[in-house]
A = this chain, B = another copy of it.
Amino acid sequence: MEQNSIMEQIVNFPSKQVKYVFETRATEFLRQFESSDIVFITDSNVALFHGEHFKNKKHIILPAGESSKSLQTIERVASELIKLNTTRKSLLIGVGGGVVTDITGLVASMYMRGITFGFIPTTLLGMVDAAIGGKNGVNLGLHKNVLGTFLQPDFLLFDTDFLNSLPQVEWANGFAEVIKYACIFDSELFDELAYHNRSDYQQNSALLGLLISRCVAWKNQTVIEDERESGIRKLLNFGHTSAHAIENLYNIPHGQAVAIGMVIAATLSENVAGLTSDATVHLKKTLQQYDLPVSYPFDVPKAMELLKMDKKRNNNEIDFIILNQIGHASVQPLPFSIIEKTLMLCAQ
């Protein structure tokens, strides 16, 4: 990684160089593209609160929410791009949360076999996780992200002004991923998070800015080392394996499902990796400081059925991310039988 100025950073992923721009307003940043043919892709929420960015500009608005993550959306967006005379020389910019950046990335990797694109994440979750790393995807029925590609955007702009319009549930969603990085990589960050609570960060933009760049750095470093997720990048799935099953069944927000999933993974880690029960208690308490749930009365047999559909499945086992201690995670193939027992403990 090279530091070009205080605000710009070039991140060298194995497949591509990506420009990261921090502490800059979108309006200011977008000026450089004034003579380019840009098409913005956003969702109905962002369009409602930040419509000024799209006024008199080519744009496509997706219905907000996970249900837009489908091949039907890809087809609809591609048809609109054709109508907007989008060519191979056009630039797509996704402005929104994880659904918008996933759809933008996948459309851009397929439209005319690939056109240039960039991201302006507008949620905390997008800024610290979803917009980073080049993964995109759509769901097929209950199968999350079963169709997608790996492709890095050309740039990412982090404009924290967008967070001013973020509803509380979206803040909590983002903090679930922040706590995830702390659990996997960074016990100091965990201590910081345990010391503060959500409103501390919401009220202190300097503190929040530092938090975001710390998470971005963890994600970049992981993806640089293992862009195609054959090794260390798998750790980022901590809490996500059971989360995907639970959010499919109950349609609860991703961050809440991840919080519950992290508690499940920690409980499992007590059994298979010697995590102390104190660590699990500490994790639960911290999650609650960020208004995240630590349990949910889900249907265990149905959740097991969905787990068996996971991309990480391999015959009767699944690669599960377990915690050895706060700040250190590892991948362990676990038989479904052991996972089922833990789910029964946690499903209440």
Contacts and interface: CB of A to CB of B under 8 A. Distances in A.
Interface of A: 71, 74-75, 78-79, 82, 87-89, 109-114, 135, 137, 140-141, 143, 145-150, 228, 309, 311, 313-314
Contacts of A145: 113
Contacts of A135: 113
Contacts of A75: 71, 140, 147
A149 B113 contact: yes
B78 A147 contact: yes
B74 A143 contact: no
B149 A137 contact: no
Nearest to A314: B87
Contacts of A110: 147-149
Given A74-B71, A135-B113, A146 B313 contact: no
A79 B135 CA distance: 21
Interface of A, helix, strand, loop or mixed by DSSP = mixed
Given A111-B147, A147-B74, A150-B113, A140 B82 contact: yes
Contacts of A143: 82
Contacts of A74: 71, 147
Given A71-B74, A79-B140, A82-B140, 9 more contacts: A75-B140, A75-B147, A78-B140, A89-B314, A109-B149, A113-B135, A113-B148, A114-B149, A149-B149
Contacts of A82: 140, 143, 146, 309
Contact of A78 (B114, B146, B149): B146
B150 A87 contact: no
A313 B149 contact: no
A47 to B, nearest CB: 24
Contacts of A313: 87
Given A82-B143, A141-B79, A114 B150 contact: yes
A7 to B, nearest CB: 32
Nearest to A150: B113
A143 B228 CA distance: 32
A150 B148 CA distance: 14
19 contacts: A71-B71, A75-B140, A75-B147, A78-B147, A79-B140, A82-B143, A82-B146, A82-B309, A87-B311, A87-B314, A109-B149, A110-B147, A110-B149, A111-B147, A112-B146, A112-B311, A113-B137, A114-B150, A114-B228
Contacts of A140: 75, 78-79, 82
A309 B78 CA distance: 13
A147 B109 CA distance: 9
A74 B89 CA distance: 26
CB-based closest 3 A-B pairs: A110-B147, A113-B148, A71-B75
